[in-house]
Amino acid sequence: MRSPRTQLTGCETVYGDLEEPGDLVRALEGCRYVVHCAAVYSFAPSERAKAYRVNVAGTAGLLDAAFIAGVERAVVTSSASTVGPSRDGKPVDENSMPADHDAPSDYHASKRAQERAALRARVPVVLLLPTAPVGPGDAAPTPTGQMVLDFARGRMFARPPRGGMNLVPVEDVAQTHVRALTSGRAGERYLLGGENMSLDSLWELLAELTAQPVPRARIPEPLLFALGYADELRCRLTRGRPVIPLEGVRMAQDLMYVDSAKAMSELGFRPSGVRDALKRAIAWYRRERVAA
C-alpha cells in the first residue's frame, strides 16, 4: 500500500514497496526518467532472501512499471562487486563479469542477477557500478559505513591479514547518476570508483581522522575465518546483524581495485578526494549520534 503523498521543497514524495512494484505505475506516469538506487545492502543471513526479492525481482518489476508508465530511460545502481576482484593487483574494468558462484556474498550475487534483469527490461537502462561510497548520511549504516563507525568508536582490535578496496565520495556518485540520465549509453555499465587503497592505508587514514590508534596486532587469516563462521552461526540463531560478517572476511582477502576510465570519458565522472569524504562521514556520525 502506498502511503499518503507529501510535498517537500518542490518535490513530491511517494512511498512504495519494491516487493509490490506494480503499485508504482501511477506515481511514475508523467516522469521522463527513473533513477533506481534502492536495494537491500546487508550481510545479515536473515536478509538474504529479501535481498533477492528486492534487488532482483523488485528491479525487474520497477522497470516494468516504468515502461508501462511511459518512462523514457532509467539509471540503475548496481555495484562494482559485479566485476570481481583485481587480478595480479591490476584494477579491473567493465569487461570483467565473473560467474555468480564466484561472488563473495549472496548480496553481491544478487547485484549480478539484478544487472541481468535490468538489461532485459523494455525501458532503456544505464547501469552504474559504484565501489564503496563514503560520506555523510549513511544512517543504516551500510557495511562500509559500519566499518568507519566502528573505527571511530575504537572497536577495531586487530588489523586484517591483507586486502584492499576502492572508496568513492557519495556526492560524486549521486551527481554522476544525474548526468547518466542524458549522457550514458543505454545497455552500458559504468564503474564509479574513487581511490584504490590497501586496508592498511585506509586504517592509517581513519586513525588520523578519528584520533583512534591503529591496532598493532594483525589477526591471522585462519582465526579471522573462524570468527566469521562463528558470527555467521550466531546470526542464523538470533537473526541478528553480523559483527564480523563472513562475506566481509572473504572480500578482505582480495584487492577490490577498479578502473573508472570509461565513466570519466563518457559521463564526465571526476571523483574528489576520499580523505575529505571520510572526514565528512565521521563528522556526520558524531553530529547525528548514529547508533549501530
Q: What are phi and psi of 37, to 5 degrees?
A: -125, 10
**How many structural domains compose the chain?**
1
Q: ∠ CA 53-54-57 to the nearest 5 degrees? A: 60
Look at 10-19, 177-186, 246-255 and tell me which has the smallest mean pLDDT.
246-255
pLDDT digits (tens, 9 = 90+) for 139-180: 888 888 988 999 999 988 888 888 899 999 999 999 999 999
Each residue of 244-270: pLDDT tens digit? 888 878 877 788 999 999 999 999 999
Given a cut of 70, whether residue 103 has pLDDT beyond it is no
Between 223 and 10, whose confidence is greater? 223
**Mean pLDDT for all residues in the chain:** 89
Q: Which three cell numbers stand for residue 69?
A: 508508465
Q: Give a yes or no: residue 83 inside a domain.
A: yes
* SS3 per residue for 173-220: HHHHHHHHHHHCCCCCEEEECCEEEEHHHHHHHHHHHHCCCCCCCECC
pLDDT at 1 over 60: no
Q: 138 with 281: CB under 8 angstroms?
A: yes
240 located within any domain: yes
The answer to whether residue 40 sits within a structural domain is yes
* Confidence band of 100 (pLDDT split at 50, 70, 90): low
Q: Express each pLDDT in 37-69 by its tens digit.
A: 999 888 888 888 898 999 999 999 999 999 999
Mean pLDDT of 201-206: 95
Q: What is the dihedral of CA 76, 81, 82, 84, to 10 degrees?
A: 160
Query: Does residue 49 fall inside a structural domain?
Result: yes
Q: With 60 as the cut, is the pLDDT of residue 25 above it?
A: yes
Give the domain range for residue 108.
Answer: 8-288
Asked, for residue 2, whether it belongs to a domain, the answer is no
Write the CATH number for 212: 3.40.50.720
Whether residue 43 is contained in a domain is answered as: yes
Q: Is the pTM for the entire model greater than 0.85? A: yes
Q: Tabulate helix, strand, coil % of the chain (nearest 5).
A: 45, 15, 40
In a domain, 1, yes or no: no
Strand-strand pairing, 11-13 and 6-8: antiparallel
Number of Cβ within a 10 Å radius of residue 185: 13
In a domain, 3, yes or no: no
**Are residues 133 and 177 in contact, defined by beta-carbon separation less than 8 angstroms?**
no
Confidence check: pLDDT of 2 > 50: no
* Residue 4 scores a pLDDT above 70: no
